[in-house]
Amino acid sequence: MELELTLPMYVDRLDHLVLTVRSIQATCDFYTCTLGLEVITFGKDRKALRFGQQKINLHEAGNEFEPKALHPSPGSADLCFITTVPLEDAIAHLHSCDVELLGDAVERTGAIGSLRSIYFRDPDGNLIELSNCL
């Protein structure tokens, strides 16, 4: 007897995620300098960081937009960004932004294959992984 698999839905991509931060301005400054993300304003003066076809909406701790996560808190995220910039060049750029790396480059497994990654923290202590696909 052959089983037929039926999927009730199909998720195509991630549109946005939300970071709860202490300071929206400090977060915008950091991500534009380090990763070249674009700050956009939408809704009633809300801020987000856009890259490619995704964005990171920013919520200021204590003034979150409803609905929100059950326990939003600054510094609770662990994000991985893929860059096509060679990691050595990215490292030099991060040093020019006074960003402290958490160790040397390491190999990891990403969503579609192997990665070479470095790690650092944003102003709220979120762990940021910056990777090249191998």
Q: Quick one: the chain helix, strand, coil %, rounded to 5?
A: 15, 35, 50
Residue 61 CA, chain-centre distance (Å), reads 18
In angstroms, rounded to a whole number, what is the distance separating the alpha carbons of residues 63 and 118?
A: 32
Told to judge if 129 belongs to the known catalytic residues of this protein, a careful annotator would answer yes
Active-site residue, selected from the candidate residues 2, 60, 66, 129: 129
Cα–Cα distance measured from residue 76 to residue 63, given in angstroms and rounded to the nearest whole number: 17
Catalytic residues: 129
